[in-house]
Structure 1
């Protein structure tokens, strides 16, 4: 049986109000009339008008300012985070990762536990073992970087990193496969500049090793500097 969902009166009122905002009746920054006036204009009761405002506020179109009223902040609902990430190129993703991971590396140097250092060491070894399989190598590489962010003990930084991770992984794999197909980098390359052989070279492994050693030593400045240099190298190869 097919069930037809009937749109609530508040949703209908919200759609009507949104359409009037789109047509410019209330510009961005403009203030809506009071609930009584707005309800009469929409042909609904005050409680329905209030719910319609709540619906559009939840979509990021309206904002209620205490003691001032309801204001238009956008003509359309802001684009979802997932859509923004899917549209972003690898360079843009790496810029954001740099902002997150440089600070995370510095924090990790001062906050990491012995168990987290052991986890990072294991992740580095796994990254080396996976160098013959591009997809597995990228996954292992992401695990190293996530381990550093986790060791920072900053839930927000970790949440941000995890938000970027699927897009970053997909973009890295696409980039490496494209470069490998084009023969970029010769017979040997690191995970961030793959040629026909996607295995990481000694310089790339050393960069990750040095990041780890700085965190192990509790050197926040070195951890941040090395992480920034590593991600900037990655970004330059993605350009």
Structure 2
């Protein structure tokens, strides 16, 4: 990631762009701790103050979270995603479920109409990955696999603005799913998504839309409390006896 002969007048902007690229490219995934300040100074070949200024700028824009005594962590992949997460972090989970249902049902209807063979292969592969993540018993791995699958469904709509909006909401939706799934995966809370893929493959617009629209309401517990963000103390306990989970 070293910068080659940066111009002094644009040095700060170049460092910000370099760090942002590490995030948007997935080199630094959400939840990961970025290299320390001395490490970034060495990697970029710039002064410590310049690195500090760039990190603070990205933290201000919502991409990074500076945690004293722990390090700096990636919390969003774009400025808008960071804004979305801050804006909706304390929203009623029922409202998040309604938003997710509206977006995903519309996207699934379009996906059934517009999907390509490449899209179908991607959905099949991600469905397998989702199953494997569930079988592993790792709740966080399942959340990641499930979220990636649903984003692929939206992307199969080939509606770029809709896909971009959904991607910017991804961490809000992941927080909601973490709350719904809880810390342990249990057999009675499993939900199969094969019917959605089958409907998209068959070009059945209404079946795909209905299937996608139902997930947020059949998988969540009817819990009035707000979902807790990872690492935030005092979050609500998962309601027992909930309907099938796994968004």
> What is aligned with 1:218?
203
User: Residue 102 of structure 1 contacts residue 224 of structure 1 at CA under 8 Å; is this kept in 2?
Assistant: yes
1:106 paired with 2:91, answer no
Q: TM-score, normalised by structure 2?
A: 0.52
Distance 1:189 1:156 in 2: 36
- Report the CA distance shift for 1:104/1:81 in structure 2 as closer, same or farther (over 3 A): same
By percentage of residues, which structure has more helix? 1
User: Residue 84 of structure 2 contacts residue 172 of structure 2 at CA under 8 Å; is this kept in 1?
Assistant: no
- Report the CA distance shift for 1:127/1:138 in structure 2 as closer, same or farther (over 3 A): same
Distance 2:172 2:125 in 1: 24
> What is aligned with 2:214?
229
> What is aligned with 2:144?
139
Choose which of 86, 92, 102 in structure 1 pairs with 2:95.
Answer: 92
Equivalent position SS for 2:169: helix
> What is aligned with 2:237?
none
User: Residue 93 of structure 1 contacts residue 164 of structure 1 at CA under 8 Å; is this kept in 2?
Assistant: no
Shift of 1:156: 1.4
- Report the CA distance shift for 1:175/1:217 in structure 2 as closer, same or farther (over 3 A): closer
Shift of 1:93: 1.5
Unaligned runs of 5+ in 2: 1-82, 225-247
- Report the CA distance shift for 1:122/1:176 in structure 2 as closer, same or farther (over 3 A): same
Shift of 1:171: 2.7
Distance 1:116 1:188 in 2: 29
Distance 2:150 2:84 in 1: 22
- Report the CA distance shift for 1:177/1:230 in structure 2 as closer, same or farther (over 3 A): closer
Q: TM-score, normalised by structure 1?
A: 0.54
User: Residue 102 of structure 1 contacts residue 228 of structure 1 at CA under 8 Å; is this kept in 2?
Assistant: yes
1:176 paired with 2:161, answer no
Choose which of 159, 183, 188 in structure 2 pairs with 1:154.
Answer: 159
- Report the CA distance shift for 1:122/1:238 in structure 2 as closer, same or farther (over 3 A): farther
Distance 1:135 1:82 in 2: 18
Equivalent position SS for 2:158: coil
Moved more, 99-108 or 166-175: 166-175
Distance 1:233 1:135 in 2: 20
User: Residue 104 of structure 1 contacts residue 152 of structure 1 at CA under 8 Å; is this kept in 2?
Assistant: yes
Shift of 1:89: 3.3
Shift of 1:81: 3.6
> What is aligned with 2:125?
122
Greater C-alpha Rg = 1
Equivalent position SS for 1:130: helix
Equivalent position SS for 1:99: helix
Unaligned runs of 5+ in 1: 1-79, 191-199
Q: Deviations over 1:140-192 (max 9, x none)?
A: 111111111000001111112112211211232134326x5xxxx9x5333xx
